[in-house]
Every structure is written in structure tokens, then in C-alpha cells.
Structure 1
């Protein structure tokens, strides 16, 4: 996605017109239009003002993805009570069917021993609670997956 499109989507998501953004930044409406059409780029000071105006970091503004932003907002607004009612395996299983079938094929007890030891180690060594240990281990696995995926491409 181009920066201009990101700026346009971020502005629309913020509910502001080009005129309103221009006024807040001290530039013309045409300048805002040119940024959004990728005809010109805002300088770093203007970019920082835009990120503050749109309540985004500069990185988020550069990589702004309306779909991702909307998903994030839904997650943020969803209570823990509702999240606990969701069968996440079933939901993700629609995209990744292996999640609904591996239990019949994999020796889960074998992997449980090693993973439990890793979780216990994280709790003891870093004084993490159950959920924090799980999330750290999940994140470590994600890093391994990304590295492995990068090597095979």
C-alpha cells in the first residue's frame, strides 16, 4: 500500500476532512490532497503531526492498513468474558483445518511434557504467571516459524 492511501484511510478513520487536517497542520487542502494522491510527501515534522492527529505512531501511519486497524479495534472492544466464550480452535480451524484434526494423530502427552517444562522454566526463572509464560512461549515459537519460513522462501 502506498503512503498516500495510508494517509487517506487514516484521515477517513479519524473522521476528518482534508480541510480540517489542513487547518490543524497549517497547510492548504491541496497539500493534503497531494499527499493522499502520492504526488508529494509530507516532511518528517508534518508526518509527526499527522501521526499525532490520527493517534498512530509513525510506523503505524506508514503501514496503516484499514482492515488490520478495524480488527484491532474489535479485539480491543471485546470483553474477556466474550473472548472466553469463543471456541478459538474451531474458529481458526476454518482457516487451518489441522487444528481440528491433529488431536487424533499426534501424541499430545509426549509434547505436553516438554512444553510444560518450558512453561515452568519461564515461570520460575522470570517470575511470570501462567498466561505470561504461555504468551512468551507462543511468541518464541512465532519467531522460530518466521525464521524457518524466511529460509525456505
Structure 2
């Protein structure tokens, strides 16, 4: 339905004549007539007034579908660095309403999570900003460093705080309830290895090998990760070499191999494979390989190359 037809439908539903609507908008009734017959459209500043008079949102004036609204929210969360309080509240309200009626609740829950994460990431920037300001002003403070741990992921010295037990329990439960979903096994192994729980990671990898949707390259990747975590460097090298031999043109395999060498601080090899990974990428290309290269160049204090990667 075009905008003029929508205005006419809403006007009739509100039991308003063209003259009455024109009076509320402080314009001529001829303008209303032109809108409704499609010969012209209302100026943009009229839209908020129309939405108030008819008791609908501006989106509803344009008959924007639910799917289009969800897509617009996705784009907003990707593109916008910050979201106003009003926009956040409106988006939150709309998504929570969708939980009552939308059949794809998984997508709506995911968008709600992304919405809160967007705000958390924005707030984390300011937590970090003011924590650093505080430490620079009074470098002897002892109760501020943990702000950086929470906002930037800075290293946490205490074993009990840096554990991933809650996440591990969650993914263990997910692998039990949904045993054929490969990604849950990979997430579980990542968190087990982050906590040095290699024996359990071995067990999870063996289960992963048995599910129909597993990928052979992931077996090589996680065999190397486990071996590296156990300080079995020669064995880890063998797994990575096998990965590179079997998947020489695979973007993901090259990226994971690069990460392996970066973990060992073998930055030249890491750069080599990050560059290859980016070259083998297909459209639309991800920027992870470039960002990884930039980090390495910053570590090496090669700032011109780092800047070129960020560009």
C-alpha cells in the first residue's frame, strides 16, 4: 500500500474528514486530497504529526513488514557506533513484543542479545576511558585495574575469576540436548582449553569426530590446539603441517594456522598465513586476517604497515 492510500485508510478509520485532518495539521484540505490521490507526498516533517494523530508508528505509515524491521535492526547494530536511549528503548520494546507473536523466536532472542551487547560494548569503551584517566591522575590506585579486566578483557591474575565454568556447563548441556550440532562441541573445547582442561577437551574432540556434521579440518585444528596446550610442541607442529598440506587453499585452515604461529610468537609465519588467508577469501571478505596482521605489526612497532591494514 502506498503512503497516500495508507493515510486515507487511517483517516477513515479515525472518522476524520479531509478538512478535519487538515485542521489538525494546519494545512489545506487540498494538500490532504493530493496525498491521498498520490499526486504528491507529505513533507518529512509531517510524518511524526501524522503518526501521533493516527496512533501509529512512522514505520506503520509506510507499511514496513516485520521482516524488514528486523533487517533494519540488524543493519543498525552493525553500522551504528552508538544508539540513542530512545532508539534503544523502542527497539527493545519492539523485539520483546515480537517474542509473543513471531514464530522465529531464535532470531528475535539473538537480536535482543546483540542489542544489549551493542550497549555493553559502547559502555565498555567509557569504562575503559575513565579507568585509564583515573589511573593516570592517581597511578597508585589499586581498585581501578579490574575495570580494564572487565571492559577490555585485560589479563585476570586470579584463577577463580578467569575460569569459564559457567560457559563450559552451558555447552556441555547443549551437546547433550543437541548432540548433532557441531558448533557446540567447538565452543566447548575452546573454553575447556582456555581453562587448561585438556583431558576433557580430548573427550569432547572424540565425540565431535563421531557426529555427522563434523569437518575433518576442525579435527586437525583442535588436535593441534590440545597438543599446544599440553606443551607437546612437536606434536602440535605435526598437526598444523598436516592441516596446511591437506587444505593449502582453504581460507579458514590458513587463518587457524596463522593463529597457531601467532600463539608461538612466530610472527613472520603468522603474517605469511594471515596474508594467504585473506587472499583466498571470497566475497564478502571478512577483515579478521587484516586485523590480525595489524595487531602483529603493532607488536613489532611497524606502525605504517599496521595503519595500511586498518585502511
Q: Under TM normalisation by the shorter chain, which class is it?
A: 0.3 to 0.5
TM score, norm. by length of structure 2: 0.22
**Structure index of larger Rg:** 2
